[in-house]
Amino acid sequence: EMQLLESGGGLQQPGGSLRLSCTASGFTFSNYAMSWVRQAPGKGLEWVSGISGSGGHTSYADSVKGRLIISRDNSKNTLSLQMNSLRAEDTAVYYCAKDETSSQTMMVFDFDLWGQGTEVTVSS
Amino acid sequence: QLVLTQPPSASASLGASVNLTCTLSSGHSNYAIAWHQQRPKRGPRYLMKLNSDGAHSRGDGIPHRFSGSGSGAERHLTISSLQSEDEADYYCQTWGTDIPWVFGGGTRLTVL
């Protein structure tokens, strides 16, 4: 069974840092692009960042460029999101999501698997 | 700019059917979409992919009570034999070159 399990969320002060992780199982991790999608309290889904299966290509929403860094370790089936210079507006539940289309180089964003989420709160 | 429009709420009775709509903005009617379900306090769950010609493919384990239809700009998710567990937010989503962040605003379904 394919699964994604996020961890690393918590309470952090504005300007601080957090590192989120997503551990994948049940599929060949390196064959699929992955993304982080967040959901602020009471709001809808917002794509944050994506990375190709090989890790060679990344993409970011304008709201997080320069502050958040996506990476992956295919030997450990792990996706990460390094969150720096945190702002109150980064407060959200963060989900990792898997592309349905198999590719090591392309990011398609046709999500077919989601994790259960990890909550990030940025507050003083 | 590609925009997906969903009504904010819908309701239907237990055991009945409901039709949820997602409308693609002008000039984008040829894009495929996906439907995702989000139950309260849970992560999203992929339901199906729905192509512009109305053909759809369900995700693993998704009951046949969930079906997709529609062509052109208007796409539908129909849920038949409604169950209490179907009470959730439903999001449509599309994708394409340089537009990975396009989600609809979501429809909250209440099962009466």
> Counting Cβ atoms within 10 Å, is residue B86 exposed (0-12), middle (13-18) or buried (19+)?
buried
Query: Which candidate from A59, A108, A112 shows the least CB-CB separation from B46?
Result: A112
**A101 phi/psi in degrees, rounded to 5:** -75, 130
The whole-number pLDDT of residue B52 equals: 87
Nearest by CB to B43, which of A100, A109, A117? A117
Four-point Cα dihedral A70, A93, A62, A104, nearest 10:
40
Residue of A47, A114, A117 lying closest to B101 (CB–CB) = A47
Residue in the block written with tokens 């996506």: A70
Confidence band for A52, pLDDT divided at 50, 70 and 90: very high
Tokens for A34, please give them. 């992955």
More confident call, B3 vs A70: A70
pLDDT confidence of residue A14: 97
A49 interfaces chain B, CB cutoff of 8 Å: no
User: How do residues A85-100 score in pLDDT, each as one tens digit?
Assistant: 999 999 999 999 999 9
B chain contacts of residue A113, beta-carbon cutoff 8 Å:
46
DSSP 8-class letter at A121: E
* Residue with tokens 């392309």, as numbered in its chain: A106
The Cα–Cα gap between B57 and B34 comes to 9
Residue B44, min C-alpha distance to chain A (Å): 6
Task: Calculate the alpha carbon distances from A46 to A13, B3, B13, B48 in Å.
Answer: 22, 13, 31, 19
Q: Indicate yes or no: CB of B59 within 8 angstroms of CB of A116.
A: no
pLDDT digits (tens, 9 = 90+) for B55-100: 889 999 999 999 999 988 999 999 999 999 999 999 999 987 656 6
